[in-house]
Amino acid sequence: MTQGMLNVGGKRTPTDKNNQAAVSSTPSFSKNKRIKAKQRLDEIQKEIEEAERRQSSSGGDIMGMLLLFQKDSDRRAETEDRRRRDERDERLESEKREREEREHARIAEAHAARELREEQRRIDQAKEAQKELDREESKRRFEERLALDREEARLRHEQMMMVLAGLTKQKQ
C-alpha cells in the first residue's frame, strides 16, 4: 500500500500526507520539528521585542542621564558664575575700602598740611607784628634820643651863646 502512494521521485503525494495526518493523531518528526521551530521563532520574536523594549527604556535612561548631566553641568556653571560674581564683588568692595582709606588719609594729610600752614601763617604774623613793635619801639627810642640830642644841642647852644655873650660883654 505504501508503494502505490509514492510518486516518481519516491516521495509521498500531498493527498497522502493529508490522509495520513487525518489517520494518525500523533505528529511526525518533521511536524514536531516545524512546531518547535515555530515556538523557537516566537520565543526569539518575544526576546527581540523585550530587547527593543529594554533598549527604548534604556534610551530613556540615557536621555535621563543626559538631562541629569546637563542639569549638573548647568548647576556647576551657575555655581562657578556665582563664585566669580562673589569674588568680583569682594574684590570691588576691597578696592572701594582701600580707595576710601586712601581718600581719608589724603584728606587727613591735607587737613594737617592746612593746619600747619595756618600755624606757620600765625607764627609769621606774630613775628611780623613783633618786628613792627620792635621798629616802633626803635623809632620811639630814636625820636626820644633825637629829641634829647636836640634839647642838649639847644642847651649847649644857649650856653655857648651865653658864654659868647659874656665874652663879648667882657671884650667890650
Q: Domains of the chain: which residue ranges?
A: 14-164
Higher model confidence: residue 161 or residue 7?
Answer: 161
Specify the pTM.
Answer: 0.39
Alpha carbons within 13 A on the beta-carbon side of 38:
6
Q: What is the per-residue pLDDT for 1?
A: 47
Tell me, what amino acid is at 66? L
Higher model confidence: residue 161 or residue 108?
Answer: 108
CA distance 48 to 150: 148
Q: What is the pLDDT of residues 45-104, one digit of tens each?
A: 999 888 888 777 666 677 778 888 899 999 999 999 999 999 999 999 999 999 999 999
Q: What is the pLDDT of residues 2-31, one digit of tens each?
A: 555 556 666 666 555 555 554 456 768 888
CA distance 101 to 107: 10
